[in-house]
Amino acid sequence: MTQHATSVATVHPRPRIVIVGGGFVGYTVARRLARGLRAGEADVVLIDGTGVMTYQPFLPEAAGGLVEPRHLVIPLRQVLKKATVVTGLVTSIDRTYRKVHVRLPDGTDYAEDYDQLVLAPGAVPRTRPIPGLAAGAVGFGTVADAAYLRDRVLRRIALAANTDDWPTFRRALTFVVIGGGYSGVEAIGELQSMAMAAIRRYPNLKPRYLRWELIEASDEIMPELPGNLGAYARRRLTKSGISVRLNSQIAALDGDLVTLAGGQQFHADTVVWTAGVRANPLLAGLGLPVDARGRLQCDPTLRVQGDDRLWSAGDGAAVPDLVAGDRLRRDKAMAAVPLCGPTAQHAVRQAKMLARNLIAGLRGKSLGDYRHRDAGSVASLGLHRGVAKIYGVSLRGPAAWLLHRCYHLLMVPTWGRRVRVAAGWAAALLGGRDLTPLPIAVVPPYLAAERERDQRGERVA
């Protein structure tokens, strides 16, 4: 246990704990505080831009039509009865006067006082200065992205079935995913699985007309997995018809023209960008030390270095991984302590520790350090295909895929949501996956203009 006891001076009759972000960290901290705080011990306010928690590991299945997008979002107000939930975007934080500035959905601004502040606004896609990329590529981090992509793939197949124009046909059926990490691999696996099922509905189309490209800058996909599993995943994807380009990068995206760093060019209507994340830019504006990815430097108790009223965890926090550090020191491989990776597994465990330490701090008790032995990873490569490494045991194929599903089903917050997800799988098992395109699917704002052009038929002419 680290001795960092703190007493909390407050401006309100009761200590006011404000949580920014209601994702894995914010939701878990609020739940744990509700359980651990005594009646009247503190007020808890959670502010989130969307008002819902998104279970991101199921986004690929939502894109693939196997999970209904609505079923992977959890309405925070409904599940956090003891906290005040505010739907609004935090625009800035004033550490001198201890105020969080919030923009409400109606455009008005207000300020929330805090005594203790938990910063958990997660990550945003890490884009590169590649010409045309920001305007032309779709991200893959929100329910809107997943719903949009599902609709997009299905509509492109329908378009290809109804055109006599060869270039239009070719680019409609060419799909590119940039980034061979977890989310890129899972996204392409699920979308391709869905496309294979959808194309069979069109007598004039054949699965071999589909072209899927996964572009990865390093020499293997899913570098988080031990080498042989990454290589297995790559072989599996290749066997199912996905071209995996290693050591390859996109150089430019000009409308639907993709140019690779080596100069090779091809046309694709759909380009998805999943090449890494960086911390929410809100955090860099605090004037506190951040790491190279913009994450707040935290000590092992989850306190932000430089301000003892601030706490952080998850994708926006640079938290020392003490367990990995011990192992490396034992192996004499490295002296410096490594940092925890941006995974839901760390986010949830850190959030539990953070809540415990917050309560301990309020009570003037000593704080504990975050130590978590990584349980491993599971990933889906599309229906019935997967890879996993759990507690040192490697699995592949349908067993890994089933493990992936069971693990994530149990991790989805609330039984209500778990039942809905499982019922969706049962329906897909009996009647096939849902291949209905939704012409009014939610469109990310940055794609609205492109979509309007699309609907006017300008790009197909």
Ligand X SMILES: Cc1cc2nc3c(=O)[nH]c(=O)nc-3n(C[C@H](O)[C@H](O)[C@H](O)COP(=O)(O)OP(=O)(O)OC[C@H]3O[C@@H](n4cnc5c(N)ncnc54)[C@H](O)[C@@H]3O)c2cc1C
Could you list the residues that contact ligand X (CB under 6 A)? 20-26, 47-50, 56-57, 59, 89-90, 120-122, 140-141, 182-183, 280, 282, 314-316, 342-345, 347
In whole angstroms, how close is the CB of 328 to ligand X at the nearest point? 21
Give the whole-angstrom CA distance, residue 23 versus residue 74.
Answer: 10
Closer to ligand X by CB, 172 or 358: give it.
358
What 3-state DSSP class applies to 214?
strand
- Give the other-Cβ count within 10 Å of 81's Cβ: 8
246 contacts: CB under 8 Å, gap ≥ 6: 180, 216, 218, 219, 220, 221, 234
Supply the angle between the helices 415-431 and 397-411 in degrees, to the nearest 10: 150
Closer to ligand X by CB, 23 or 325: give it.
23
- The phi and psi torsions of 192 (rounded to 5 degrees) equal -65, -40
In whole angstroms, how close is the CB of 165 to ligand X at the nearest point? 34
* Nearest CA among 13, 23, 25, 33 for reference residue 81: 33
Q: Which residue is nearest to ligand X (CB)?
A: 23
Give the whole-angstrom CA distance, residue 348 versus residue 353.
Answer: 9
Closer to ligand X by CB, 57 or 136: give it.
57
In whole angstroms, how close is the CB of 302 to ligand X at the nearest point? 12
Closer to ligand X by CB, 250 or 354: give it.
354
Parallel/antiparallel/unpaired status of strands 257-260 and 265-267:
antiparallel
Q: Which two tokens stand for residue 221?
A: 């996909």
Give the whole-angstrom CA distance, residue 350 versus residue 122.
Answer: 13
In whole angstroms, how close is the CB of 242 to ligand X at the nearest point? 17
In whole angstroms, how close is the CB of 26 to ligand X at the nearest point? 6
Closer to ligand X by CB, 86 or 159: give it.
86
Any bridge partners for residue 254, and if so which?
257
Give the whole-angstrom CA distance, residue 51 versus residue 302.
Answer: 24
Q: Which two tokens stand for residue 18?
A: 């404000």
Overall residue count recorded for the chain in this entry: 461
In whole angstroms, how close is the CB of 224 to ligand X at the nearest point? 10
Give the whole-angstrom CA distance, residue 425 versus residue 435.
Answer: 14
Closer to ligand X by CB, 132 or 141: give it.
141
Give the whole-angstrom CA distance, residue 30 versus residue 22.
Answer: 9
Closer to ligand X by CB, 25 or 244: give it.
25
Which H helix or E strand runs over 297? strand 296-297
415 contacts: CB under 8 Å, gap ≥ 6: none
What 3-state DSSP class applies to 225?
coil
Please answer whether residues 356 and 368 qualify as being in contact, where contact means their C-beta atoms are separated by less than 8 angstroms: yes
Closer to ligand X by CB, 160 or 403: give it.
403
In whole angstroms, how close is the CB of 102 to ligand X at the nearest point? 7
In whole angstroms, how close is the CB of 295 to ligand X at the nearest point? 10
In whole angstroms, how close is the CB of 246 to ligand X at the nearest point? 21
In whole angstroms, how close is the CB of 391 to ligand X at the nearest point? 15
Closer to ligand X by CB, 234 or 349: give it.
349
Closer to ligand X by CB, 63 or 160: give it.
63
Q: Which two tokens stand for residue 225?
A: 């997995």
